[in-house]
Chain A
Amino acid sequence: MNDRRNHQLSLTVNGTETRAVTEVRVSLADFLRDKLGLTGTHLGCEHGVCGACTVMMDDMAVRSCLVLAVQAEGRRVTTVEGFAAADGTLNPIQEAFAERHALQCGFCTPGFLATVAEYLAERPTGTEAEVRERLAGNLCRCTGYQNIVDAVMKLAEQSAGDLT
């Protein structure tokens, strides 16, 4: 069904080929949450500022509140539900966040994980200034950021070590 108000969407979500009909005006965030039941992606401001809705699309961190579901046609989307292994083992970023108390209520955390995943894939130098700047697009009301910054700096150090 591909009339101009509805779209038969095909995309990969957390590794699974997914097909669903959606109204064209639905955001990727609302599609993930309401259509696919993946409510780990959260809505804070819905205008791109808070970063809570950040997911991975084709290995890039994107604001799912600012991307229409139809823009994800043919793309690979990874949400927080896709970060841990199938048996529930946390990925290294999740592990570092847990260990460093980089989350309290957890509302902002899925967005941070996507931002950090993209950042670490770039093998960054991980200075505090660089980390703080990169994380500036993800707001947290609970932690005061210090533990998040510490977790990311430690991860950057570890991923730099992987190269040797």
Chain B
Amino acid sequence: MKPAPFDYLAPESIGDAVAALVEYGGHAKILAGGQSLVPMLAFRIARPAALIDLGRVPGLTGLALEGDSVSIGAMTTHRSVELSEGLIGRCPMLGEALAVLGHVAIRNVGTVGGSMAHADPAAEWPAIALALEGRLAVSGTGGERSVAAADFLTGWMTTALMPDEILVGVELTLPPSGTGSAFLEVARRHGDFALAGAAVVLSIEDGLVSRVRIALLGLGLTAVRAEEAEGLIAGREPTLEAFEAASAAIESSIQPLGDQQGTADYKRHLGRVLTVRALTKAHERATNGAVG
């Protein structure tokens, strides 16, 4: 038997799910799609006392596009988002990120909320959330609260969720017209965990960069915003020289860790190259007249 024994509950409301978390005093794990959690259980890296399956709680799936923002239920599968043509057309960066998130079979079951709450530094969703001013809707015994993505990602595989709290939704701000977005990552094989990745949103007004967000994954304990790099481009002309200067400046925002996939210096190099390429691609999209 692969996973260690655990209790399994399938509550039918958020209130019951929260009560179950409280009952197990911090020793229960939420089961969303399970695509990250189940292998951890099988390898016995995780040995929770209980799994609380959110699969029977209504109201946690689906996405709603309203003007410049989209609300995505935490239990929405990656595949559902990927197949939302209106949303992907509006923000190509999402399509690019989802196309390299595992494989279709993983995306059919894995969820947006699960990925955010698992907070793997190499995951796509946390970087997307940072690039798109993401806000996380959280529900617990104290009621509901909204947490900015940067405040939500607190450390390695760690979030701001308290032991009695559940992530119920993700809200993203979509790029307005005159803005381009792009997502790029490098992995050894298609569908593998990324070694490094960049999510960029770039707005151009009167030939100058009016707004830029650069979010990086795989280059630290969490996904990070390269704020110093952003500062070097904001208000400037969007030239390749400017982008390359910005890519050098990601250094102050990252702490790449060497592992069997690559050395810290290799990942640092990838980060810089991907930053330039994502900025270039976002710039092309911003200036070709299309929205997103």
A: which residues have CB within 8 A of B?
4-5, 7, 23-27, 30, 46-49, 51, 54, 57, 60-63, 65-68, 70-71, 73, 115, 118-119, 133-134, 136-137
Contact = CB atoms under 8 A, between A and B. Distances in A.
Contact of B2 (A46, A57, A118, A119): A46
Contact of B109 (A26, A51, A63, A137): A63
Contact of B34 (A24, A51, A54, A66): A66
Nearest to A66: B38
Contact of B6 (A25, A49, A54): A25
B39 interface: yes
Contact of A23 (B1, B79, B106, B190): B1
Q: Looking at chain A's contact residues, is the secondary structure mostly helix, strand, loop, or mixed?
A: mixed
A46 B103 contact: no
A81 to B, nearest CB: 19
A27 B104 contact: no
B51 A24 contact: yes
Given A24-B8, A25-B3, A66 B104 contact: no
A60 B109 CA distance: 9
Contacts of A30: 2
Nearest to B190: A136
A140 B5 CA distance: 33
Contacts of B4: 25
Contacts of B55: 71
B150 to A, nearest CB: 29
B50 A4 contact: yes
A62 B109 contact: yes
Given A4-B7, A25-B3, A137-B106, A68 B34 contact: yes
B34 A137 contact: no
Contacts of A54: 105
A62 B105 contact: yes
A67 B34 contact: yes
A25, A54, A60, A67: most-surrounded residue (chain B CB, <10 A) = A25
A63 B106 contact: yes
Given A25-B8, A66-B35, 5 more contacts: A25-B6, A27-B42, A66-B39, A70-B53, A137-B102
Contacts of A119: 104
B104 A61 contact: yes
B5 A115 contact: no
Interface string B1-39: 111111111100000000000000000000100110011
Contacts of A57: 108
B95 to A, nearest CB: 14
A47 B193 CA distance: 13
Contact of A27 (B8, B38, B51, B109): B38
